[in-house]
Amino acid sequence: MRVGIGYSDNPDSFASGKQAASEALSKAGQVKPCDFVLLFCTARHDQQSLRDGVISVVGLSQPIYGGGAVGIITNDKFGYAGDQVGVVCFWLEDSACTILVENDLDQGEKETGIRLGKRLSDAGVTSSSPMLLFYDAVNRSHGDVRLLMATWLVEGLEQGLGFSPDVNGAGIQGDHACSATRQYTGGGMDKHAVISMAFSDDIRMDSVIVHGCRPASPYYTVTKADGSAILEINGKPALQFMDELLNSAVAPENYPFFLLFGLNHGERWGEYSEDHYASRLCLDIDKERGAIIMFEPDMTEGTEFRLMYRSLELDYMRPRIESVFSRLNGREPVFAVYIDCAGRCAGYGGIDIEDAHVVQEIVKDRVPLLGLYTGAEISSIGGRPRGLDWTGVFCVFSKDRTGKASALGKESGIRWETDAVKSDKSQEIPLEAVLKLCEQNAAKILELDTRSIAIRHELEHKRRGFSLLAELSVSLRQGTATEDIFMLATQRINAALNMQKTAVLLLNKEGQFVSHVLQGYSPDEKDALAGQPIVMDTEFFDPEKAVLVTAEDNPGRFSVLRDTLGLPYFISVPVVIENEVVAILITGRMEEMPPFLSRLGSSDVETLQAISSLLATVWVYRRLGDATKQAQSDGLTGLLNRGAFEMRAMETLQRSLTDGHGVMLAIIDCDHFKLVNDTYGHLTGDKVLSALADCLRENFRQDDLVSRIGGDEFAICCKISSGETGVINKIARLSEIWSKTPFETGEGKTIYSTLSIGIAISPADGTAYDKLFHHADIALYKAKQQGRNQYAIYDANDDGHSSLIR
């Protein structure tokens, strides 16, 4: 078996899929088609377009499996909460892999597991078959968010198989906020599914768990529970018990994603081993029931647990991961998987560095590595697979290339010892005092833990803010176009500061604020806001004080603006030049979900104010460049003139050669325009040309090139990101809209106009500007010859008419 792994963080989904898949094939060094593909991406991507990009490289016949991931890790790259994509291509050679997909997980995790287990059993999967499992971690069927439980799924899987499988896996989701994503299920996409990959017995999977959590208390007992809700601990309401235990040092509101319990599956009072403890993380609290809500539902009545604290260093990881390689005993490692709890990333996990860095430093180039930031993890503890929290699962798949059996078999399960260690009667400190001391120490450790996490979380916000400012400053020094600066700023604000929507509002000619850049908005939302005046209160113009709106505010505060922008919680800062407000920068979140989507605060405000100052600098540069811009613009319509259009179109075509995108070039002629001028005068003619320019702006994207190349002729050059059909339909829609647009002449008459359009598409019709323009001109002639009021696409058979071109 051979594997190739690729990575991309390109926000263009098609290009990202193509880039990651190309890298996977290149790194594998394989010529023949792969057998199947794993594809994972964050929720920011258009998953269909991403899949199409991968298919454009690997072909249509290769099934694609996978789904969402909060982030991706490879041997030399990693990232999360952005546009990350990971692709793994498999060549099975003389090995085999049984891949099954079981749907309807939202109808019952255990029942789904049972069905899948029976199918795997029928397919010949045994207890020695190494298996990976990827399931949809989030159920949004009813509009809200409900986590799908690994505990029940694994129980059903074991029941269906009739034994405990050799399995590692993950509950996958596309971001920290549990945004809706779909899964890749071979030939298409679905949701609420389980994907199992069972390899043949010549492949071995060695694995280890890493969480770095240690016991901080004696054992406590769940005395009442309801599903994933712990209602009572040691006979007291759970919240009351925990508050008393911690001496109120940690507020219950801070328990979610912080409070960790450990379930020991080894010797009760034996020496601590990370292998023995399954971490259980608090998801929420229920004040009405006095309950602590856990991620998994297995802390039932009678369960004993201990409080756990996180290690603030990552030095525990190296010996754990190295132990996996040491167990290979001469077998060839084929690929490695690191399944990492998304909460363990820096800034949320209370650590100085990313554990991804540590994994990369250990693995180096010993084996191709794919890491996923996930919602839940599955691995064996105590002799059977279990759902895990706050855990990393590192696996190495290996194959014996010598044909000999390995002298070292797989590490057997945890050895259970039930005999309790006898207490030392000679102890000077009574056991009761020891237990009390343990509880006090636990409270102190957890208090320090929560403070440390809060400080590191704040520092991580600061670091990201400074990094963003440095990035934007460099872009400015390198002479990036002003329009690109605003786009880059909003993209990086969303990614670096974990915002969900960002808008830049500019003044129009009437002195009203309208949207200029909308990042994180859907196409429908952008269309709804396009050109719409947005009324701003004078409070938004104060350069000394940003506007901050959170869930603590009255819902009526700026309610119209919040509804208009679809942004309930936001920060707004003005961009001010010489005491004049020239723009408004607004960024924020759709919901508050600590710690991943925490409440906006002073740190966020300070970062946005610094960015506003930088944007003001950009604006000054823009004013200084107005003369240049005017030299590149058509005086009547404000569109690019012919010289500027040709230059930028050449740049677009050059970029298309490297990024693989197609390019459309269209020449547009206003039918019988001379008759309009001669009959109704040049003022009416100018009115028609200006209206056509506005129509072109409204119907094409901001980054498309639109030009008046002379007289009544216009040209468009745009990148094709998702097939030719879309741009052709846009041309057809433009022609239809224009033919129905009325114009009032000076004499009070209403007239209409039509368009003839010639289209050429690169690379099929040429990759050089002159050639592509020439072919579009031939197509324009054809449209006119066929009666005007239509578009024509260049056909090589039309070249014979080129001598007849105007």
Please say if the pLDDT value at position 460 is more than 90.
no
Q: Which of 533-537, 630-634, 692-696 has the lowest mean pLDDT?
A: 630-634
Residues 6+ apart with CB under 8 A from 338: 73, 356, 359, 369, 370, 371, 372, 392, 393, 394, 395
Q: Are 120 and 197 in contact (CB under 8 A)?
A: no
Angstrom CA distances, 255 to 247, 446, 525, 691, stand at 14, 10, 36, 60
Q: Is the pLDDT assigned to residue 688 strictly greater than 70? A: yes
pLDDT above 50 for 647: yes
Predicted local distance difference test score (pLDDT) of residue 785: 93
Higher pLDDT, 726 or 469: 726
Residue 410's pLDDT band (boundaries 50, 70, 90)?
very low
Q: What is the pTM of this model?
A: 0.64
Confidence of residue 110 (pLDDT cuts 50, 70, 90): very high
pLDDT score of 404 more than 60: no
Confidence of residue 413 (pLDDT cuts 50, 70, 90): very low
First CA to last CA distance, the chain: 62
pLDDT at residue 480, as a whole number? 53
Q: Of all helices (H) and strands (E), which one includes residue 475?
A: helix 431-477
Q: Can you tell me which residue has the tokens 């000076």?
A: 746
Residue 458: per-residue pLDDT: 74
Instruction: Give the distance, in angstroms, between the CA of residue 595 and the centroid of all CA atoms in the same chain.
Output: 17
* Cβ atoms of 234 and 329 closer than 8 Å: no
Residue the block writes with tokens 């004040």: 287
Q: CA torsion, points 62, 63, 68, 71, in degrees to nearest 10?
A: -30
Question: Where is pLDDT greater, at 96 or 703?
Answer: 96
Q: Which DSSP category does 386 fall into?
A: E
What is the band of 461 on the pLDDT scale with cuts at 50, 70, 90? confident
| Secondary structure (3-state) at 573 | strand
Structural domains in the chain plus CATH codes: 2-211+315-399 (no CATH), 213-310 (2.40.30), 459-624 (3.30.450.40), 628-804 (3.30.70.270)
Rounded CA-CA distance 103/327 in Å is 36
pLDDT grade for 417, boundaries at 50, 70 and 90: very low
**Residue 803 pLDDT class (50, 70, 90 cuts):** very low
Mean pLDDT of 636-661: 91
What is d(CA 183, CA 136) in angstroms, rounded to the nearest whole number?
7
Q: pLDDT tier at 433 (50, 70, 90 boundaries)? A: low
What pLDDT score does 624 carry?
60
The per-residue DSSP string of 488-522 comes to HHHHHHHHHTT-SEEEEEEE-TTS-EEEEEEES--
Portion of the chain with pLDDT greater than 70, in percent: 91
Query: Which range (35-44, 116-125, 382-391, 577-586) has the least confidence?
Result: 577-586
Residues in contact with 251: Cβ distance below 8 Å, sequence separation at least 6, in sequence order: none
- Mean pLDDT calculated for residue range 698-715: 93
Question: Which pLDDT value is given to residue 659?
Answer: 86
Phi-psi region of 29 (alpha: psi -120 to 50; beta: other; left: phi over 0): left
Give the pLDDT confidence of 777-786 residue by residue, as tens digits. Answer: 999 999 999 9
Question: Dihedral sign, CA of 183, 186, 190, 191?
Answer: negative
For residue 709, give the H/E element and its range.
strand 705-710
- Three-state DSSP state, 429: coil
For position 426, what pLDDT does the model report?
36
When comparing pLDDT for 753 and 425, which is higher?
Answer: 753
pLDDT tens digits, 323-361: 999 999 999 999 999 999 998 987 565 566 799 999 999
Quote the pLDDT of residue 629.
Answer: 58
* pLDDT, greater one: 42 or 471: 42
Is the pLDDT at 459 greater than 80? The verdict is no
In this predicted model, what pLDDT tens digit does every residue of 244-276 receive, in sequence order? 998 888 899 999 988 999 999 998 888 889 999
Q: Is 447 helix (H, G, I), strand (E, B) or coil?
A: helix
pLDDT band at 745 (very low <50, low <70, confident <90, very high): confident
How high is the pLDDT of residue 194?
A: 98
Question: If you search the block for the tokens 């399995």, which residue do you land on?
Answer: 167
Which of 767 and 405 is assigned the larger pLDDT? 767
Q: How far is CA 406 from CA 134, 398, 399, 742, in A?
A: 29, 11, 10, 82
- Give the best-scoring range by mean pLDDT among 290-294, 470-474, 656-660: 290-294
pLDDT for residue 387 is more than 50: yes
In this predicted structure, what is the pLDDT of residue 65? 99
Section 417-430 average pLDDT: 38
Q: How confident is the model at residue 800 (pLDDT cuts 50, 70, 90)?
A: low
Residue 16 pLDDT greater than 70, yes or no = yes
Instruction: Say which residue, 133 or 443, is predicted with more confidence.
Output: 133
pLDDT at 232 over 50: yes
Identity (one letter) of the amino acid at 119? R
- DSSP letters of 294-359? ESSS---TT-EEEEEEE-SS-TTHHHHHHHHHHTTTTPEEEEEEEEEEGGGSTTTSS-SS-HHHHH
CB burial of residue 84 (10 Å; 0-12, 13-18, 19+): buried
- Each residue's pLDDT tens digit, 500-542: 999 999 988 888 999 999 999 999 999 999 989 999 999 999 9
- Tell me, what's the pLDDT at 407? 36
What is the pLDDT, as a whole number, of residue 405? 41
Residue 268 confidence (pLDDT): 85
Q: What is the DSSP letter of 796?
A: G
Query: In the structure encoding, which two tokens stand for residue 554, read together?
Result: 């009255």
Average pLDDT, stretch 293-303? 96
Dump the DSSP string for 128-186: TSEEEEEEE-EE-TTSS-EEPPHHHHHHHHHHHHTS--EEEEEEE-SSTT-----EEEE
pLDDT value at 89 more than 90? yes
The answer to whether 285 and 139 have CB atoms below 8 angstroms apart is: no
pLDDT, position 55: 98
> Is residue 156's pLDDT more than 60?
yes
592 has a pLDDT exceeding 60:
yes
Mean of pLDDT over the chain: 89
- Lowest-pLDDT range of 225-239, 382-396, 460-474, 600-614: 460-474
Phi, psi of 325, deg, nearest 5: -65, -35
Q: What is the mean pLDDT of residues 681-700?
A: 92
Q: How far is CA 67 from CA 35, 45, 174, 314, 535, in A?
A: 18, 11, 8, 29, 41
Q: What is the pLDDT of residue 416?
A: 28
Taking residues 431-448, report their average pLDDT.
72
